[in-house]
């Protein structure tokens, strides 16, 4: 449930629009390919999480099984990807709740959620049990309506601006009018992968569940399978309801897909569900960002000040830094570009995880070695074929982050592994 709560949030409510711009009518093939990549990554993650049941995820796996620099690469990729994901979640929240002024809703939401995290508010299993069935119910309504109705050609969301000046736009001009190519489908798959990446939340629970070797290995494939079925159904429904060209241009595609019924209550329900889902994703993502910063700071790979823990047991400085970076990303991108940035970074992160999984002894593997090899190949292939401006920005961010982290480590300012004081 915690994995589904992290997945059924930002991605499903926004990713089909930019993906349709590249894949056209082959959108569902892109969803299936993204699901295959996510499955390979999930198998590697499950085996590693069972072997190393501690917080830190790919950062720990890279350090323990490969080399310190590989751990730093995974850690920096995770931080870049998840701050991009937080920015995307805030922007999607704004697109559904306040479409004419999405930034005015996005930035305060990110900061408020970061404040709640710093105060020790946590997304619980009970909350996930309440949210996930509700979101799945809303998605079921979207699927039913989308497969029955088509949105009128002259319908438009009132008050939604079309000018995106000042933001980075990765949607190709005229892409949906040009013939779709296999590379376009692969690019779309890389974007759709963003919607699956939330299952990494399960791998961070190694210290919080009983018998992690059994529990995590079951939870990741189960959550992933449910999400894949949901995404295929929703993708087919919005494609039928809106058509390729209309879908590619929608900021809130699921709300637009139910517009053909001319029932305002349905649109309001979808927008409310998107708001709740993106807020839950923000709670989960920003916690992951701050905890990874904490783990890296304790090992000397980030400034030691980020290891400061408040009396409530929360790394409040890391919470604040993560939120501020997410706000900066939100200011200079739109939802599609934030999704692409996050997807590219997280694909690199899982590439490191797949390499680490190849180093596991046979006794610690439940899944075959070929799944890690395939996952490694697909991760770097999909990342490289994402829109080139995003690939360049991601590469520069990762290179700079790893270099700075390495310099910090070589300065010898390592902190003890215990909890630091504020």
* Inter-CA distances, 414 with 88, 320, 420, Å: 33, 22, 12
Q: Nearest to residue 108, comparing CAs of 122, 121, 119, 98? A: 98
Give the CA diameter of the chain.
Answer: 64
Provide the number of structural domains found in the chain.
1
Residues 6+ apart with CB under 8 A from 319: 114, 115, 117, 118, 286, 290
Residue 29 located in a structural domain: yes
Contact 185, 37 (CB under 8 A): no
> What b/e readout covers 109-131, taking b as 16+ CB neighbours within 10 angstroms?
bbbebbebbbeeeebeeeebeeb
* Inter-CA distances, 364 with 67, 220, 407, Å: 20, 17, 34
Alpha helices in 149-181 (DSSP H): none
Residue 417 located in a structural domain: no
* Tokens of residue 274, six digits: 């998107």
The domain in which residue 273 lies consists of 2-410
pLDDT at 422: 35
Contact 135, 281 (CB under 8 A): no
Residue 421 located in a structural domain: no
pLDDT tens string for the chain (422 positions)? 777 877 887 889 999 999 999 999 999 999 999 999 998 998 898 888 878 876 677 888 998 999 989 999 999 999 999 999 999 999 999 999 888 888 999 999 999 998 888 887 766 667 778 888 888 999 999 999 989 888 665 555 444 444 444 455 666 544 554 567 889 999 999 999 999 887 666 655 555 556 666 676 777 778 888 999 999 999 999 999 999 888 988 888 998 888 766 677 888 899 998 998 898 888 888 888 888 888 888 888 888 888 888 887 788 888 899 999 999 999 998 899 999 999 999 999 999 999 999 999 988 888 899 999 999 999 999 999 999 999 999 999 999 999 998 888 887 644 444 444 33
pLDDT at 394: 95
Residue 216 located in a structural domain: yes
User: What angle separates helix 369-384 from helix 27-51, to the nearest 10 degrees?
Assistant: 130
Residue 415 located in a structural domain: no
Residue 420 located in a structural domain: no
Identify the CATH number of the domain in which residue 94 sits: 1.20.1740.10
Residue 327 located in a structural domain: yes
pTM of this prediction exceeds 0.95: no
* Tokens of residue 193, six digits: 């992968």
């Amino acid at each position: 449930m915690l994995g589904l709560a992290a997945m059924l949030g930002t991605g499903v409510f926004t990713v089909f629009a930019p993906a349709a711009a590249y894949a056209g009518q082959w959108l569902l093939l892109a969803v299936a390919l993204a699901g295959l990549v996510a499955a390979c990554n999930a198998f590697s993650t499950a085996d590693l999480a069972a072997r190393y049941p501690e917080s830190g995820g790919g950062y720990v796996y890279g350090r323990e099984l490969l080399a310190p620099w590989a751990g730093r690469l995974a850690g920096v990729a995770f931080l870049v990807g998840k701050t991009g994901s937080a920015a995307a979640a805030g922007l999607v929240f704004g697109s559904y709740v306040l479409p004419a002024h999405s930034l005015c809703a996005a930035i305060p939401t990110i900061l408020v959620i970061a404040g709640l995290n710093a105060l020790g508010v946590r997304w619980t299993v009970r909350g996930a049990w309440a949210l996930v069935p509700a979101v799945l119910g809303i998605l079921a309504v979207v699927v039913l309506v989308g497969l029955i109705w088509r949105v009128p050609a002259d319908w438009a969301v009132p008050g939604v601006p079309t000018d995106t000046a000042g933001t980075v736009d990765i949607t190709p001009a005229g892409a949906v009018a040009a013939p779709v190519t296999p590379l376009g489908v692969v690019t779309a798959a890389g974007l759709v992968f963003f919607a699956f990446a939330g299952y990494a939340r399960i791998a961070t629970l190694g210290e919080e569940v009983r018998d992690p070797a059994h529990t995590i290995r079951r939870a990741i494939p189960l959550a992933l399978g449910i999400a894949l079925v949901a995404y295929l159904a929703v993708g087919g429904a919005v494609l039928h309801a809106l058509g390729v060209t209309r879908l590619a241009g929608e900021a809130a595609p699921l709300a637009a897909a139910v517009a053909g019924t001319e029932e305002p209550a349905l649109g309001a329900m979808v927008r409310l569900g998107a708001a709740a889902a993106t807020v839950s994703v923000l709670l989960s993502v920003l916690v992951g960002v701050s905890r990874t910063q904490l783990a890296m700071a304790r090992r000397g790979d980030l400034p030691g000040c980020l290891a400061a823990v408040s009396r409530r047991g929360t790394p409040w400085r890391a919470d604040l830094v993560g939120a501020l970076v997410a706000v900066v990303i939100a200011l200079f991108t739109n939802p599609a570009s934030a999704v692409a940035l996050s997807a590219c970074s997280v694909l690199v992160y899982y590439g490191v995880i797949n390499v680490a999984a190849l180093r596991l002894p046979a006794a610690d593997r439940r899944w075959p070695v070929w799944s890690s090899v395939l996952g490694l190949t697909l991760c770097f292939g999909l990342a490289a074929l994402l829109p080139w401006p995003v690939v360049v920005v991601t590469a520069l961010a990762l290179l700079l982050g790893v270099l700075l982290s390495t310099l910090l480590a070589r300065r010898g300012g390592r902190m003890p592994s215990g909890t630091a004081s504020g």
